[in-house]
Structure 1
Amino acid sequence: MSLQNTCKVDQNIKSPPQCPVDHEAYGVYDPQLAYTNTLLSAIAYSDTPTKCMNSIVPDGNFELIHAVGRRCEDLFLFEYEECYAYTAISHTLKIIVLAYRGTTTTYGNKQLYDEIVSILTTPKTSFITGGEVQYYFKQAYDKLFPCVRNSIEEIVQQNPDYDVVITGHSLGGAIASLSAASLIYTGVVRKTKLSLYTFGMPRVGDKEYAINHDRIVNNSWRVVHGRDIVAHLPTCNLLFGCRVTANGPYHHRTEIFYKADPMTISSTYIQCEGNEDDLCSDGLVTKNWCVPGEDLDDCIDYHKVYFGIPVGTYCNEKDSRRKRSATERSRMWDNFSSDECKRINITKGSTVNAATEACKIQESFLILITLLIFEKAMI
């Protein structure tokens, strides 16, 4: 309650020098930019990213630059590929884009099962900015980031006045969170030039990571649609909730909460300043969990669709001529090494990654909820 300490109460920072200063004030949330970033996140799931981008965001004159991919399974029990990100640029908007794709079911839910088992059995690990993060998110970030950083660094050097926008849906949002903090912390991008938009992002790390992220990434928007269940996983302390977290999972700022459905650009939203705020989605889900057989399917459906866009399948639905099975191999994955990340140039018509039926995971979420409910306070 000190007048000299400008931190938020929820930040729980006792040392005033650790608080953001006036010239580091948070940016302003832009619903139109959030909608555009939802489309950019959808492109990360596409088989034909250039074609998809030209189809759904033609006015921005976006040009895809690099695709980055690598196998990213954590446990030997699960083998799958296609952890993926892309970089792009719009000279019209003077924007550099980094978009990560989220979990897919291309390999029969293997990636989802790998995430579940890893989160439940592997302790969190330290991150460069301070605090600890979920090990699965960190190892996926580690496997892609060297190539991602090289791509962003190269594009920023060529276009130093451009803003950098980082985005991702679901798992893609978690990796985007780590990348945004790292790019600023290591001096690749100035904090005044970077914005982060995530959609249905799970809790990435503990409270220390969240507070450090708040301090480093000023223009950070964690968009949540209604009762999206993924935004509340991994769970906070099951006994005491999100306010008494110890070293349990904790969200960073700033939540933009769209309660109503359908969710549109013109929909009313709430901007919550607290990291875990009952005025936003915590009041709907964390204190009132989605129940199998009652409303769990609805909670999953909220995760699938943002601004009316079925993020994981949107590009494939737009290109109805390109249909393939959930186990069919991507057509460009032979270009990526399984041992190290690889950055390839994306040319017009290239096929890069496969993301079919990315959000059809109701059955798997039943398993996820069951496991998490019986977990301890949290790893």
Structure 2
Amino acid sequence: MERTSWLILVIFSCLLAFSSGRELKVRQEDKLAAYNHTLATILVEYASAVYMSDLTELFTWTCPRCDGLTKGFEVIDLVVDIQHCLQAFVGVAKDLNAVVIAFRGTQEHSIQNWIEDLFWKQLDLNYPGMPDAMVHNGFYYAYHNTTMRPAILNAVKRANEFYGDLDVIVTGHSMGGAMASFCGLDLKVNHETKNVQVITFGQPRIGNAAFASYYSKLVPNTIRVTNEHDVVPHLPPYYSYFPQKTYHHFPREVWLYNIGLGSQMYEVEKVCDGSGEDPTCSRSVTGNSISDHLVYYGVELMCEAWRSCKIVHDPGLVEYSKTDLQGNFILSRDPAAPILKMKTQSNGGGNHI
């Protein structure tokens, strides 16, 4: 069965790679986002940390993934939607002088099943206030119609009230990248946040060409990093025969790929054009690799183990927790409050959900 599933994946990838036809171009009138390698390598560590299932370590920023380029980060809110298996955090990075929002990617029991499901996703929702713009209902819903949006907006507001008007940087990997994009757009359109930057990793397509055009004008400071043959940026499929109806990436893509032979390999970071679908970037190869999806810049973007929505936290976090009737909860503290001092319990005495 597994072999059959992978055969389907490869066949579809090949069909997409060799499809041709008249393409609808996204016109990018404004200045494209400038790629900053250093910032991308910092943000990918935030995108990795949000996958941690030990909420005590994540909330206190003492997790093994919190000890690299992100030292000194102050978590304000950690949002966990048990009902829909979603997780995100909001905090302040003083070295970046910015609020950082990070969304976790898919936490399905099997990432392979999630990827295969994306082959059949249809454009099924009109984006409010954008004529002809259509988006993926599931990704839209995950941000707009769960506990994610109100908790994140509240945390950003509290951070700005305490620290002043900070820049906002939104990031995420995989499905988390899709949610990060909707969040960045929401902050610009509905909350008039001045300086919003979005950097995502291995993000799927989330809307059609009309949506991509609106998005690129409203959130021009956006970078989508793709890696080698990562399958997810190729999904849902782009059909050049149906340019008005098909999914379409927004700019700007930065494609990572290796060149060389044997031990003489080095990574190239190709800054792509303003179309969102640059044929010389990730679309120039077949998207058939899950392993390329799970590691960016040498950083793992996955949970410690692929399992459904399992988290653990110390009972001492209860005083920081707000829970709704569905069991979804927010761990929240005032900005600049002292770092929590509690014993992290990853394997033993913590509460498991």
Partner of 1:103: 106
- In structure 2, the partner of 1:309 is 299
For 2:198 and 2:45, locate their aligned partners in 1 and report how far apart those are by CA, in whole Å.
Answer: 14
Counterpart position of 1:358 = none
Offset from partner CA, 1:205-257 (integer Å, 9 cap, x none): 111111111001111000001111101100012xx36xx42222110110001
Match of 2:312 in 1: 331
Deviation of 1:11 (Å): 1.9
Question: CA offsets, 1:79-125, max 9 Å, x none?
Answer: xxx301100112233121000000124xx33x875786588366521
Alpha carbons of structure 1 residues 112 and 128: separation in structure 2 relative to 1, 3 Å: farther
Instruction: Give the distance between the partners of 1:345 and 1:127, measured in 2 at CA.
Output: 31
Q: SS in structure 2 opposite 1:303?
A: helix
User: Helix, strand or coil: the match of 2:25?
Assistant: helix
Look up the match of 2:137. 135
User: Quick one: distance in 2 between partners of 1:350 and 1:135?
Assistant: 41
Q: Is the counterpart of residue 32 in structure 1 residue 41 in structure 2?
A: no
Whether 1:175 and 2:162 are equivalent positions in the alignment is no
Deviation at 1:268, TM superposition (A): 2.6
Question: Of 216, 233, 236, which aligns to 1:214?
Answer: 216
Larger strand share, 1 or 2: 2
Alpha-carbon separation, structure 1, partners of 2:83 and 2:343: 22
Tell me the TM-score normalized by structure 1: 0.69
Q: Give unpaired runs (5+ residues) of structure 2.
A: 1-23, 261-265, 334-338, 348-353
- Alignment partner, residue 256 of structure 2: 258
Counterpart-to-counterpart distance in 2, 1:177 and 1:72: 22
- C-alpha deviation, 1:30, in angstroms: 0.5
Amino acid in the other structure paired with 2:156: I
**Which residue pairs with 1:88 in the alignment?**
91
For residues 1-379 of structure 1, the aligned pairs below 5 Å read 10-12=25-27, 19-20=29-30, 25-46=31-52, 47=54, 48-49=57-58, 50-52=61-63, 54-57=66-69, 59=71, 61-73=72-84, 82-105=85-108, 108-109=109-110, 113=113, 120=120, 124-128=124-128, 130=130, 131-142=133-144, 143=146, 144-190=148-194, 193-237=195-239, 240=240, 244-260=242-258, 267-273=267-273, 274-285=275-286, 290=287, 296=288, 299-313=289-303, 316=304, 326=307, 329-332=310-313, 336-337=323-324, 339=326, 342-345=329-332, 348=340
**1 CA distance for matches of 2:122 and 2:330?**
29
Answer yes or no: is the 8 Å Cα contact 1:123–1:135 preserved in 2.
yes
Structure 1 position 279, deviation (Å): 1.0
RMSD: 3.2
Residues 343, 211 of structure 1: alpha-carbon distance in 2 compared, 3 angstrom cutoff: same
The separation in 1 between residues aligned to 2:93 and 2:135, in whole angstroms, is 32
Residues in 1 aligned to 2:167 and 2:191: alpha-carbon distance in whole angstroms = 14
Mean CA deviation greater in 343-352 or 38-47? 343-352
* 2:224 and 2:254 in contact (8 A); partners too: yes
Give the Å deviation of 1:128: 3.4
Answer whether contact 1:95 1:163 (CA < 8 A) is retained.
yes
How many pairs does the alignment contain? 296
Percent identical across equivalent pairs? 22
> Given that residues 129 and 181 in structure 1 are in contact (C-alpha distance below 8 angstroms), is that contact kept between their aligned partners in structure 2?
no
What's the secondary structure of 1:258's corresponding residue?
strand
Structure 1 residues 145, 185: CA separation in 2 closer, same or farther (over 3 Å shift)? same
Secondary structure (helix, strand or coil) at the match of 1:37 reads helix
CA offset digits 1:249-285 (Å, max 9, x no partner): 11011000112179xxx84311112211111111113
Secondary structure class of the residue paired with 2:62? helix
Cα gap change, 1:258/1:26 in structure 2, threshold over 3 Å: closer, same or farther?
Answer: same
CA–CA separation in structure 2 for the residues paired with 1:330 and 1:70? 11
User: Does the 8 Å CA contact 1:129/1:185 hold for their aligned counterparts?
Assistant: no
User: Given the superposition, is the C-alpha separation of residues 340 and 132 from structure 1 closer, same or farther in structure 2, using an over 3 Å criterion?
Assistant: farther
Q: Compared with structure 1, are the counterparts of its residues 228 and 112 closer, same or farther at alpha carbon in structure 2 (3 Å cutoff)? A: closer
Question: Mind listing any 5+ residue stretches in structure 1 that lack a counterpart?
Answer: 1-8, 14-18, 74-81, 291-295, 317-323, 355-379
SS of the equivalent of 2:179 reads: helix
Q: Report Cα offsets for 1:189-214 as digits up to 9, x if no partner.
A: 11xx2111100000011111111110
